Amino acid sequence: MLSQLLYPNLSFLPRFLVDLFTGFLIVYALRLALIAFNRSRLLRNATTGPIVYLSNLPGPKSPSWLWGSEWEMYNTSPGQKYMEWYHTFGRIFKFKGALGSSFVTLADPSAIHHILSPQHCYEFPKPEGERQFFYTLLGKGMIWAEGLTHSRQRKILGPAFSSGALASLSTIFFDSSYKVVRAWNTLFEQSSSDSLTIDVQRWANHISLDTIGLAGFSYDFGTLDPNRPQHPLARTLDGFTDSSGTHSFSAFLVHSLIWAFPAILRIPSNRQKALSKSRNMLAEITNKVWAERKALSNPQGSGKSILELLLKAEKPGSASNLTKEQIAAEMMTLIFAGYETTATIIAWALYELATHPEIQEELRRQVTDISLSDPSFEDLHNGLPLLSAVVNETLRFHPTFMQIHREASKDSLLPLTPLPQEFTQTGITPTTGTHLFVPKGTILILPINIMQSSEDVWGPDAHIWNPYRWMDIGATGKEANESKQTQWRKDLLIFSTGARGCIGHNFAKLEIKTVLATLLRNFAFAPADNNEIEPLLSFVVRPKVKGEHRSSLPLKITRLNY
């Protein structure tokens, strides 16, 4: 026996410890043999084309044995290093993170389609560190969930985001928009100036928070009412996402170590306090709303609102049978996700329209001429092509997230897109049938900013905000649709896709369109004097004034008189 061979060298240990150690070695060796056998079978049977291994991938040299490339990524503009590496190393590259952690970046459409497809998406879950972050902040809601748990939660909430449900919510979107119009008109009446400089990011935050509260849970946060004090949740969320509360060395430690050491989220810090404060505030509100609505003997509503669906799922006889804690987690998830991203896109869209006055004027004519009253749901849904193009282009050009993280739950082969003969780059050059072998545990990064600004897909003007490119998509005879990979163009990665795609993306688009249409019918927007705007990476990529340490977007606003 192996233990007999080892025992003379380990005679100073009790015999049972030697046997235990021997058993461990045997199990470990068998596990390695099984992994090797499965990998050999996967590589032998899955494909007959070339196979690329991680050791073949190019990438930047790690500048630090401790932090890898994390520190330089943290201290550059959001997404800048990914774009630099893409131009240097091609569509697929690897880099080192903190404590020797390794990442593979995939800007390859075939590989991304495979990872996000309904057939394979649950084979590539969020990495444990990212799931731990969302659990700490929001509980076990849809963002945290994986596999059958996620599928079940999505099925419960799906009807709340159907076209019929959204049509019934459009009045709430308009109500929130007109609250801003009335508040700004009051500011003009109190001023003798023809134009005012207003922080539109702040107002976009309030629009988004009030809208998700009313549309989802019949709860009025009241942040658009100038006569009411700011809601505590609004202060908490703003403090959590502004750089003044997050851009510090402690925040960098969490950001960089979370992949290799998820338990860092349990270490007391200012960041941890901000997470706990946000979760406690959200939990307090959601529990209050849940209890109030549940207490109603005959609650009014269509039966398809988010809250009503959750209350129905809470009933003991329901097939869904959610617990009170799970309901609170879903409510917190939808409030947090719906507030942050929508508010940021509204702000960026107004910024781009302010810096492109000719497009702003054309869009104003479109949303004004279509009807003497507000645009209908059908108009907003698909009847205003330039408005849709402005929203899509803002989502493309200003993605609120820079990347999607996934982890291979098992050894996998990812198909790679063959490069056209006329397209040359450094790094690997896949041909037909080429696959990338990804071992179990590999952390994959799907770079949104690269996918949504690649010149070989979007053309030489990819670095320019140009909504008219979206009005070409689907047209025949357009050069832009010839020899271009239009799948990238039609499917914005910012909402992901497939079974793990954002369930509220149509909700967000409709809200953004409603806000833009309403504000443009009443005000004109221009850049504020001496204010250079740059991106700020907090929870999402918000606008900020260069040199400042918090998110804001001051624009010069003029009231229109018809």
Coil/strand/helix, residue 541:
strand
Read off φ and ψ for residue 93, nearest 5 degrees: -150, 170
Q: Is 502 annotated as a binding residue?
A: yes
Residues 6+ apart with CB under 8 A from 258: 129, 130, 132, 133, 264, 265
CB 359 within 8 A of CB 390: yes
Provide the 10 A C-beta neighbour count for residue 490. Answer: 11
Neighbour-count burial of 42, counting CB atoms closer than 10 A to its CB (0-12 exposed, 13-18 middle, 19+ buried):
middle
**Separation of alpha carbons 6 and 554, rounded Å:** 74
Strand ranges, E, within 141-275: 195-199
**Separation of alpha carbons 465 and 467, rounded Å:** 7
CA-nearest of 134, 546, 81 to 340 is: 134
| The token pair that represents 216 in the structure block | 């989802």
Strand ranges, E, within 441-486: 443-447
Rg from Cα positions in the chain: 26
Provide the 10 A C-beta neighbour count for residue 114. Answer: 22
Read off φ and ψ for residue 139, nearest 5 degrees: 85, -165
Residues annotated within the binding site are 502
Residues annotated within the binding site for heme are 502
